[in-house]
Structure 1
Amino acid sequence: MAEKKEHVKRGLKSRHVSMIALGGCIGTGLFVASGAAVHNAGPGGALVAYVLMGIMVYFLMTSLGEMATNLPVSGSFSTYATKYVDPAMGFAMGWNYWFNWAITVAVDISTVALVMAFWFPHLPAWIWSAGALAIIFTINILAVSAFGETEFWMSLIKVITIFIFLGVGFLTILGIMGGHATGLSNFTYKQAPFVNGIPGIISVFVVAGFSFQGTELVGITAGEADDPHKSVPKAIHEVFWRIILFYFLAIFVIAAIIPYTSPDLLGSSASDVAISPFTIVFKRAGLAAAASVMNAVILTSVISSANSGMYASTRMLYSMADEGYAPKLFGKVNKRGIPAAALLATTVVALLTFLTSFVGPKIYLWLVAASGLTGFIAWFGIALSHYRFRRAFIKQGHTLDELEYHATLFPVGPIMCLILCIVVIFGQDIGAFANGDWFEIAITYISVPLVIILFFAYKFTHHTHLIPLDEIDVSPANLENENKK
């Protein structure tokens, strides 16, 4: 008799899915690191880089949306790579993504302590980190709706902050706030609008890519969305326009008010709220409490990122157990539909990684570096999986009318994503290659050989192969039957 398959419960509403996808890509990358982007590439270079990366991410999301509405499953990237490319790739993608987010949770709870030190500099850092991890674990063990509701409100705080920032920023540019009009003079200041030419723009691609990472969470939420056929496409279209609007206008305001030569723009640490470009703009407008307010918003962003990371890594581990890539224990769910064993395992790894920051700082830095490029590797896997899915779908005699959602401009979209992901991955630290700094190269690119080792280890052990297009299973999921189980 076949073993009964355990399913996570669907409980994410449409508003949850939209806000999770939006909140996933609005964080310290925008609130802090955007200043460094303007400094390195100038106002024009930063805007070009973020818009191009935003367009690429949109194509990526439509690719993911086409697959996620056809087959909505938790831990989608691993499943799609397994079904549409090669089981070895699914194995490598799954462990790569789980590792990425498990380490990110550790990084974020460490950052919580740094952010809290702004208000409480004399209290031990571990207290805040331990408290943050406990809160995040509790949210994720309760129910998927608890996670969705928490993310909705934390993401809403970030969105409201951006609206206020844009309003204050434009009033400052016009001289209504801050005493004098800055106008657009900083766009033609010295070497502006384009600084350092093409290399400057490419360097910002990396920053922009990290800023946008998290949008792919919409693919994982599809497995627990109440109506993925409607909520996923809606989230993708809403998120694209909001991302372009928020990032483009926010960077425009920063570049107009703060000259690219300002040393204040060099800050790229989430802990240094005093040199967040948002804080600087608020101060220029005469808002005295700017630093405290932005510190609270950044704290919300960091906790939101850790919360999303815990959810994403837990669902990926659950999915891998379902595929046979991880122990079966991690594929079991409790009465509330939560993969509790997978959640506990992820929490333990995050906690152990966090502890290495005290007992072995070098080990901690290596782990953080190893997770650095895994998000781009996941994007590469999504694009490749979709390219092969659509080709197999058409080759097997299907028509696009059979799909619930169509990706935009196929095959341009996935091909552009594949090319840009390769550019970003290998352009991550060009300076290290130029200087022959092999230790720096090893630190930066360690995730690439790790994924290659995972891929070939599984391939040679299980004798897998690239699945021929006419053998790929492109059949859609029957959600009605699944929900009855």
Structure 2
Amino acid sequence: MITIAGVIGSGLFLGTGRSLATGGPLSLLLSYAIVGLLVFFMMLSLGEMSVQFPVSGSFTTYAKRFGSDSLGFAILINYWFNDACSVAGDLTAMQLIMAYWTDFHWYVISLIFWVFLLFLNVIHVRIYGETEYWLALLKVVTIIIFFIVSIIVNAGHNNQHEYIGFKWWSHGDAPFVDGLKGFTSLFVSAAFAMGGLESVSLTAGETANPIKVIPKTIKATFWRIIIFYLFTAFFIGMNIPYDYPNLATKSVATSPFTLVFQMVGAKAGGGFMNAVIMTSLVSAGNHALFAGSRLAFNLGSQGFFPKIFTRLNRYQIPYVAVIFTWLAGGLCFGSSFIGAGTLWSWIQSIVGLSNLISWWVIGVISIRFRRGLAKQGRTDELLFKNWSYPLGPYFVVIFGGFIILIQGWSTLKPFVAADFFQSYIELGVFPVTFIFWWLVKKGKDRFVKLEEMDFDTDRYYESKEEKEEERYASTLKGWQKFRYGFAENFL
């Protein structure tokens, strides 16, 4: 359920409106499709390594193991900072949501939310999982209702009492607003909306039967991208014009989801949708704090941070890492005195580009992982094969790198310094952290040679019980197979 909807948050619910205004309906749909394809290939590459070595930290651990110490440090810092900023982003977005109902002191609501996230993450991991399950289920149901309402609105049950069809696709500058410049500027917002899916693999070390669960997670990625992202972008572009008043502002009152619910004539539609967005922020913030704390734990266990970050409480939760990430998210949120909307835009750019960099590193490490296996003649030992190799990982590396470089070129002409740094500041963080650790190692850090890669430590072996369950599942047919699959996935 975390894979299906756990990481859906402000990027989809709030960011699509601004993207529609910036690039138009077709740019919105295509940017989600292209980034979605990149994410799917990335997840296949990551899943291959995660099944073989289901360890806490996942791709950040593999970056050190199949890359170098400096690469491991850089991606760990990069992704931990990503999650801390995500916590701050969800706290900030909470202010925008509450402004829909009241002008009550924004920081009080966000502080309550902040403390609640800490509570969810310092007790037994089952509480985290149970909370994410129900919040994810709520988001799934709401988005399906949104699709139904969108069809009704488009068919004519709207404020204008007329059939809409695709008329907004030929309205004004649509379907491509601001041409190629507007189109390329949407890649980061799409990456922000889809970000977090790769962090599901961070839980591999705490997942029962990863050889069964992780491939199932990868398959769900494909359908999640199509249903939750492409369908959403499609319906929003159909029903809302790109020049809708205030759509490009940071106010949640103009969230496309809220607008569509209001258009159908439901009096409580706007309030209901904003309430769902609020729960989605709890879910996304909860997930970001969970993932960030595991990264801080890995920074300690791999020798980058002091060993105090590896301390566990009686529930085996890395509580020091949780508190550290929680405080960092709170400090980032503290900068919202500059304006909640302005801060959220910066966080969207930072986290979106950070996601793209992480996906690029996963592609690089996947290629080195496979080349190392081939060099040692051990490719046949793979428990889950990435069927897209080598095209998939190379697509992630080459095209992902291209997106990273061109996503902010719209800020160059006319040049606006604030917008430029907002678009590219994260691109400077990654190489700086890489060089920093390389200097700490006094320039002696090298990428591990293919023939010296360790493919034995932490390798996963199925238990006898898991093999028996797998054999039992393969014998089921018809209704019994459906019931077993439904219970495995949703109950």
Quickly name the TM-score band, shorter chain normalised: 0.7 to 0.9
Q: Counterpart of 2:374?
A: 394
Question: Normalized against structure 2, the TM-score is what?
Answer: 0.87
Q: Counterpart of 2:155?
A: 174
Cα distance change, pair 110–259 in 1 and its aligned pair in 2 (3 A): closer
- Structure 2 SS opposite 1:446: helix
User: Would you say the 8 A contact 1:372–1:447 is kept in 2?
Assistant: no
- Letter of the aligned partner of 1:151 in structure 2? E
Provide the C-alpha distance between the structure 2 equivalents of 1:277 and 1:464, rounded to a whole number of angstroms: 49
- Structure 1 SS opposite 2:324: helix
Provide the C-alpha distance between the structure 2 equivalents of 1:115 and 1:296, rounded to a whole number of angstroms: 8
Cα distance change, pair 261–119 in 1 and its aligned pair in 2 (3 A): closer
Q: Counterpart of 1:258?
A: 240
Provide the C-alpha distance between the structure 1 equivalents of 2:157 and 2:99, rounded to a whole number of angstroms: 34
Q: Which runs of 5+ in 2 are unaligned?
A: 464-491
Match of 1:40 among 9, 22, 34: 22
Q: How does 1:287-436 map to 2 (within 5 A)?
A: 287-358=266-337, 368=347, 373-399=353-379, 401-436=380-415
- Structure 2 SS opposite 1:464: coil
Shift of the alpha carbon at 1:390?
Answer: 1.0
Deviations 1:394-428 (A, max 9, x none): 121013x4212112311211121123332332223
Shift of the alpha carbon at 1:288?
Answer: 1.5
Match of 2:189 among 198, 207, 220: 207
Provide the C-alpha distance between the structure 2 equivalents of 1:174 and 1:107, rounded to a whole number of angstroms: 36
Shift of the alpha carbon at 1:189?
Answer: 3.3
User: Would you say the 8 A contact 1:21–1:214 is kept in 2?
Assistant: no
Q: Counterpart of 1:470?
A: 451
User: Would you say the 8 A contact 1:24–1:305 is kept in 2?
Assistant: yes
Cα distance change, pair 195–119 in 1 and its aligned pair in 2 (3 A): closer
Q: Counterpart of 2:264?
A: 285
After TM superposition, the structure 1 stretch with the greater mean CA deviation from structure 2, 351-360 or 275-284, is: 351-360
Shift of the alpha carbon at 1:34?
Answer: 1.5
Q: Counterpart of 2:485?
A: none
User: Would you say the 8 A contact 1:73–1:220 is kept in 2?
Assistant: yes
Question: Normalized against structure 1, the TM-score is what?
Answer: 0.88
- Structure 2 SS opposite 1:149: helix
Cα distance change, pair 81–302 in 1 and its aligned pair in 2 (3 A): same
- Letter of the aligned partner of 2:27 in structure 1? G
Alignment partner of 1:49 is 2:36: no
- Structure 1 SS opposite 2:412: helix
Shift of the alpha carbon at 1:106?
Answer: 2.2
Shift of the alpha carbon at 1:238?
Answer: 1.1
Match of 1:242 among 224, 228, 242: 224
Cα distance change, pair 160–359 in 1 and its aligned pair in 2 (3 A): closer
Q: Counterpart of 1:13?
A: none
Residues paired across the two proteins, number: 458
Provide the C-alpha distance between the structure 2 equivalents of 1:364 and 1:283, rounded to a whole number of angstroms: 27
Shift of the alpha carbon at 1:33?
Answer: 1.9
Q: Counterpart of 1:59?
A: 41
- Letter of the aligned partner of 2:186 in structure 1? V
User: Would you say the 8 A contact 2:68–2:445 is kept in 1?
Assistant: yes
Provide the C-alpha distance between the structure 2 equivalents of 1:191 and 1:364, rounded to a whole number of angstroms: 29
Provide the C-alpha distance between the structure 2 equivalents of 1:479 and 1:418, rounded to a whole number of angstroms: 27
Cα distance change, pair 68–183 in 1 and its aligned pair in 2 (3 A): same
Shift of the alpha carbon at 1:450?
Answer: 2.2
Match of 2:51 among 38, 57, 69: 69
Q: Counterpart of 1:460?
A: 439
Provide the C-alpha distance between the structure 2 equivalents of 1:204 and 1:337, rounded to a whole number of angstroms: 41
- Structure 2 SS opposite 1:467: coil
Q: Which runs of 5+ in 1 are unaligned?
A: 1-18
Cα distance change, pair 142–349 in 1 and its aligned pair in 2 (3 A): same
Cα distance change, pair 349–177 in 1 and its aligned pair in 2 (3 A): closer
User: Would you say the 8 A contact 1:21–1:217 is kept in 2?
Assistant: no
Provide the C-alpha distance between the structure 1 equivalents of 2:231 and 2:458, rounded to a whole number of angstroms: 40
Structural RMSD (CA): 2.6
Q: Percent identity?
A: 36
